[in-house]
Amino acid sequence: MRLKDKVALITGAGGGIGRESALLFALEGAAIVVADVKDQGGQETVEMIKSAGGRAVYIHADVSKAADCEKMVDLAEKEFGKLNILFNNAGIMHHQDDNAVTTEESIWDLTMEINAKGVFFGCKYGIPAIRRAGGGSIINTASFVAVLGAATPQIAYTASKGAVLAMTRELAIIHARENIRVNSLCPGPLRTELLMSYLNTEEKRQRRLVHVPMGRFGEAKEIAQAALFLASDESSFITGTDFLVDGGITAAYVTPE
Protein backbone atom coordinates (compact mmCIF):
# COMPACT_ATOMS: atom_id res chain seq x y z
CA MET A 1 0.00 0.00 0.00
CA ARG A 2 1.45 3.30 -1.10
CA LEU A 3 -0.14 5.40 1.67
CA LYS A 4 -0.11 2.91 4.52
CA ASP A 5 -0.53 4.59 7.94
CA LYS A 6 -0.93 8.04 6.34
CA VAL A 7 -3.71 10.53 7.08
CA ALA A 8 -5.03 12.65 4.22
CA LEU A 9 -7.32 15.67 4.24
CA ILE A 10 -9.04 16.29 0.91
CA THR A 11 -11.22 19.33 0.27
CA GLY A 12 -13.97 19.21 -2.31
CA ALA A 13 -14.13 15.44 -1.79
CA GLY A 14 -17.90 15.19 -2.24
CA GLY A 15 -17.48 14.51 -5.95
CA GLY A 16 -15.22 14.75 -8.99
CA ILE A 17 -11.44 14.71 -8.50
CA GLY A 18 -11.79 14.96 -4.73
CA ARG A 19 -14.01 11.90 -4.43
CA GLU A 20 -11.94 9.79 -6.80
CA SER A 21 -8.78 10.77 -4.91
CA ALA A 22 -10.36 10.00 -1.54
CA LEU A 23 -11.42 6.55 -2.72
CA LEU A 24 -8.00 5.83 -4.21
CA PHE A 25 -6.04 7.16 -1.24
CA ALA A 26 -8.15 5.03 1.12
CA LEU A 27 -7.61 1.97 -1.05
CA GLU A 28 -3.87 2.62 -0.74
CA GLY A 29 -4.07 2.64 3.06
CA ALA A 30 -4.72 6.25 4.09
CA ALA A 31 -7.31 7.43 6.59
CA ILE A 32 -9.32 10.22 4.96
CA VAL A 33 -10.87 13.45 6.18
CA VAL A 34 -13.49 14.32 3.57
CA ALA A 35 -14.22 18.07 3.53
CA ASP A 36 -16.88 19.77 1.41
CA VAL A 37 -19.84 22.14 1.51
CA LYS A 38 -21.99 19.51 -0.20
CA ASP A 39 -22.97 17.42 2.79
CA GLN A 40 -24.76 14.68 0.90
CA GLY A 41 -21.88 14.16 -1.51
CA GLY A 42 -19.34 14.23 1.28
CA GLN A 43 -21.23 11.70 3.37
CA GLU A 44 -21.60 9.47 0.32
CA THR A 45 -17.83 9.54 -0.20
CA VAL A 46 -17.28 8.51 3.42
CA GLU A 47 -19.76 5.65 3.10
CA MET A 48 -18.08 4.46 -0.10
CA ILE A 49 -14.72 4.39 1.67
CA LYS A 50 -16.08 2.60 4.72
CA SER A 51 -17.95 0.03 2.65
CA ALA A 52 -14.63 -0.83 1.00
CA GLY A 53 -13.03 -1.35 4.41
CA GLY A 54 -11.35 2.04 4.72
CA ARG A 55 -11.35 4.74 7.39
CA ALA A 56 -12.95 8.13 6.76
CA VAL A 57 -14.79 10.98 8.42
CA TYR A 58 -16.74 13.90 6.95
CA ILE A 59 -16.70 17.57 7.93
CA HIS A 60 -18.65 20.45 6.44
CA ALA A 61 -16.02 23.01 5.49
CA ASP A 62 -16.21 26.17 3.40
CA VAL A 63 -12.57 26.70 2.46
CA SER A 64 -13.09 30.44 2.06
CA LYS A 65 -13.63 30.64 5.84
CA ALA A 66 -10.59 30.46 8.10
CA ALA A 67 -12.52 28.90 10.99
CA ASP A 68 -13.74 26.04 8.82
CA CYS A 69 -10.23 25.29 7.58
CA GLU A 70 -8.89 25.32 11.12
CA LYS A 71 -11.63 22.90 12.20
CA MET A 72 -11.00 20.42 9.38
CA VAL A 73 -7.30 20.22 10.25
CA ASP A 74 -8.13 19.85 13.95
CA LEU A 75 -10.49 17.00 13.08
CA ALA A 76 -7.74 15.14 11.24
CA GLU A 77 -5.48 15.24 14.29
CA LYS A 78 -8.23 14.45 16.79
CA GLU A 79 -9.77 11.62 14.75
CA PHE A 80 -6.64 10.02 13.32
CA GLY A 81 -3.78 11.46 15.38
CA LYS A 82 -1.91 13.37 12.68
CA LEU A 83 -1.97 14.88 9.19
CA ASN A 84 0.45 13.74 6.49
CA ILE A 85 -1.26 14.75 3.25
CA LEU A 86 -3.23 17.90 2.46
CA PHE A 87 -5.01 18.01 -0.89
CA ASN A 88 -6.38 21.53 -1.41
CA ASN A 89 -8.73 20.52 -4.18
CA ALA A 90 -11.96 22.48 -3.61
CA GLY A 91 -12.75 25.06 -6.27
CA ILE A 92 -15.43 26.70 -8.35
CA MET A 93 -15.89 27.67 -11.97
CA HIS A 94 -18.78 30.16 -12.08
CA HIS A 95 -21.11 30.26 -15.09
CA GLN A 96 -20.98 34.07 -15.07
CA ASP A 97 -17.18 34.14 -15.15
CA ASP A 98 -16.32 35.60 -18.55
CA ASN A 99 -13.90 38.21 -19.87
CA ALA A 100 -12.57 41.22 -17.96
CA VAL A 101 -15.17 43.57 -19.40
CA THR A 102 -18.29 41.54 -18.64
CA THR A 103 -17.37 39.67 -15.45
CA GLU A 104 -18.91 41.22 -12.36
CA GLU A 105 -16.74 42.11 -9.40
CA SER A 106 -18.80 39.80 -7.18
CA ILE A 107 -17.96 36.81 -9.40
CA TRP A 108 -14.27 37.73 -9.30
CA ASP A 109 -14.33 38.02 -5.49
CA LEU A 110 -16.22 34.75 -4.98
CA THR A 111 -13.85 32.85 -7.26
CA MET A 112 -10.77 34.25 -5.55
CA GLU A 113 -12.20 33.57 -2.09
CA ILE A 114 -12.58 29.87 -2.80
CA ASN A 115 -9.89 29.03 -5.36
CA ALA A 116 -7.02 31.14 -4.04
CA LYS A 117 -7.80 32.08 -0.44
CA GLY A 118 -9.06 28.54 0.17
CA VAL A 119 -5.61 27.17 -0.68
CA PHE A 120 -3.99 29.80 1.55
CA PHE A 121 -6.22 28.89 4.50
CA GLY A 122 -5.66 25.18 3.94
CA CYS A 123 -1.91 25.72 4.09
CA LYS A 124 -2.12 28.22 6.95
CA TYR A 125 -3.64 25.60 9.24
CA GLY A 126 -2.42 22.45 7.54
CA ILE A 127 1.29 23.18 7.49
CA PRO A 128 1.70 23.28 11.32
CA ALA A 129 -0.09 19.93 11.54
CA ILE A 130 2.07 18.36 8.83
CA ARG A 131 5.12 19.77 10.60
CA ARG A 132 3.98 18.08 13.82
CA ALA A 133 3.71 14.82 11.88
CA GLY A 134 7.32 15.10 10.77
CA GLY A 135 6.60 16.22 7.23
CA GLY A 136 4.38 15.26 4.34
CA SER A 137 2.87 16.34 1.06
CA ILE A 138 0.63 19.24 0.06
CA ILE A 139 -1.13 19.13 -3.30
CA ASN A 140 -2.89 22.23 -4.61
CA THR A 141 -5.29 21.90 -7.52
CA ALA A 142 -4.52 24.49 -10.18
CA SER A 143 -5.29 24.11 -13.90
CA PHE A 144 -3.69 24.05 -17.31
CA VAL A 145 -5.33 27.44 -17.96
CA ALA A 146 -2.97 29.01 -15.42
CA VAL A 147 -0.14 28.10 -17.80
CA LEU A 148 -1.86 28.48 -21.14
CA GLY A 149 -4.91 30.73 -20.82
CA ALA A 150 -8.44 29.58 -21.59
CA ALA A 151 -9.93 29.54 -25.09
CA THR A 152 -13.34 30.11 -23.50
CA PRO A 153 -13.12 33.30 -21.38
CA GLN A 154 -13.07 32.71 -17.62
CA ILE A 155 -10.89 35.51 -16.30
CA ALA A 156 -11.45 35.03 -12.57
CA TYR A 157 -10.90 31.26 -12.70
CA THR A 158 -7.74 31.59 -14.76
CA ALA A 159 -6.33 34.29 -12.48
CA SER A 160 -7.19 32.32 -9.34
CA LYS A 161 -5.39 29.25 -10.63
CA GLY A 162 -2.38 31.38 -11.55
CA ALA A 163 -2.32 32.49 -7.93
CA VAL A 164 -2.29 28.84 -6.86
CA LEU A 165 0.79 28.18 -9.00
CA ALA A 166 2.68 31.14 -7.55
CA MET A 167 1.66 30.35 -3.99
CA THR A 168 2.69 26.72 -4.40
CA ARG A 169 6.17 27.60 -5.61
CA GLU A 170 6.80 29.92 -2.68
CA LEU A 171 5.47 27.47 -0.12
CA ALA A 172 7.64 24.72 -1.59
CA ILE A 173 10.77 26.82 -1.21
CA ILE A 174 9.95 28.01 2.30
CA HIS A 175 9.19 24.56 3.69
CA ALA A 176 11.57 22.35 1.70
CA ARG A 177 13.96 21.86 4.63
CA GLU A 178 11.06 20.80 6.87
CA ASN A 179 10.33 17.68 4.82
CA ILE A 180 7.13 19.32 3.54
CA ARG A 181 6.65 19.05 -0.21
CA VAL A 182 4.21 21.34 -2.02
CA ASN A 183 3.13 20.79 -5.62
CA SER A 184 0.45 22.06 -7.96
CA LEU A 185 -1.68 19.55 -9.82
CA CYS A 186 -2.76 21.04 -13.15
CA PRO A 187 -5.53 19.06 -14.84
CA GLY A 188 -6.43 19.57 -18.46
CA PRO A 189 -10.07 19.63 -19.60
CA LEU A 190 -11.97 16.93 -17.71
CA ARG A 191 -15.30 15.21 -18.05
CA THR A 192 -16.44 16.37 -14.63
CA GLU A 193 -19.64 18.03 -13.52
CA LEU A 194 -17.69 21.23 -12.82
CA LEU A 195 -16.42 21.64 -16.38
CA MET A 196 -19.35 20.08 -18.24
CA SER A 197 -21.76 22.46 -16.52
CA TYR A 198 -19.55 25.36 -17.63
CA LEU A 199 -19.08 24.07 -21.18
CA ASN A 200 -22.82 23.66 -21.42
CA THR A 201 -23.15 23.50 -25.19
CA GLU A 202 -21.61 21.15 -27.75
CA GLU A 203 -20.03 24.16 -29.45
CA LYS A 204 -18.20 25.14 -26.24
CA ARG A 205 -17.07 21.58 -25.66
CA GLN A 206 -15.72 21.17 -29.16
CA ARG A 207 -13.95 24.52 -28.91
CA ARG A 208 -12.06 23.17 -25.90
CA LEU A 209 -11.50 19.67 -27.31
CA VAL A 210 -10.01 20.87 -30.58
CA HIS A 211 -6.94 22.01 -28.64
CA VAL A 212 -6.34 18.67 -26.88
CA PRO A 213 -3.93 16.44 -28.85
CA MET A 214 -5.42 13.27 -27.33
CA GLY A 215 -8.82 14.35 -28.65
CA ARG A 216 -10.83 13.64 -25.50
CA PHE A 217 -11.64 14.98 -22.08
CA GLY A 218 -9.71 13.52 -19.16
CA GLU A 219 -11.39 11.60 -16.37
CA ALA A 220 -11.35 12.42 -12.66
CA LYS A 221 -9.85 8.98 -11.96
CA GLU A 222 -6.83 9.86 -14.09
CA ILE A 223 -6.18 12.99 -12.04
CA ALA A 224 -6.58 10.98 -8.84
CA GLN A 225 -3.76 8.70 -9.98
CA ALA A 226 -1.52 11.73 -10.42
CA ALA A 227 -2.52 13.03 -6.99
CA LEU A 228 -1.66 9.64 -5.49
CA PHE A 229 1.84 9.86 -6.93
CA LEU A 230 2.36 13.34 -5.46
CA ALA A 231 0.96 12.22 -2.11
CA SER A 232 3.16 9.14 -1.89
CA ASP A 233 6.82 8.78 -1.04
CA GLU A 234 7.43 7.88 -4.69
CA SER A 235 7.57 11.62 -5.37
CA SER A 236 9.94 12.30 -2.47
CA PHE A 237 12.31 14.52 -4.54
CA ILE A 238 9.53 16.51 -6.22
CA THR A 239 8.48 19.87 -4.85
CA GLY A 240 7.46 23.23 -6.30
CA THR A 241 6.29 21.70 -9.58
CA ASP A 242 3.34 22.44 -11.84
CA PHE A 243 2.35 18.83 -12.49
CA LEU A 244 0.43 18.92 -15.77
CA VAL A 245 -2.00 16.11 -16.52
CA ASP A 246 -3.57 17.56 -19.61
CA GLY A 247 -3.68 15.23 -22.60
CA GLY A 248 -0.79 17.12 -24.20
CA ILE A 249 -2.52 20.49 -24.54
CA THR A 250 0.27 22.60 -23.06
CA ALA A 251 2.95 20.75 -25.01
CA ALA A 252 1.08 21.63 -28.17
CA TYR A 253 0.79 25.34 -27.45
CA VAL A 254 3.52 26.48 -25.05
CA THR A 255 6.72 27.50 -26.83
CA PRO A 256 9.94 26.63 -24.95
CA GLU A 257 12.08 29.63 -24.06
Q: At what angle do helices 16-27 and 39-51 cross, to 10 degrees?
A: 20
Q: Which domains does the chain have, with CATH numbers?
A: 7-243 (3.40.50.720)
Q: What is the model's pLDDT at position 204?
A: 78
Known catalytic residues?
A: 157
Fill in the amino acid letter for 78: K
Question: Who has greater pLDDT, 66 or 205?
Answer: 66
pTM (2 decimals)? 0.95
Neighbouring C-beta atoms of residue 51, cutoff 10 Å: 8
Contact by Cβ (8 Å): 176, 130: no
Q: What is the mean pLDDT of the chain?
A: 94
Q: What is the pLDDT of residues 221-247, one digit of tens each?
A: 999 999 999 999 999 999 999 999 999
Task: Answer positive or negative: Cα dihedral of 198, 69, 11, 226.
Answer: positive
Q: What is the pLDDT of residues 14-26, one digit of tens each?
A: 999 999 999 999 9
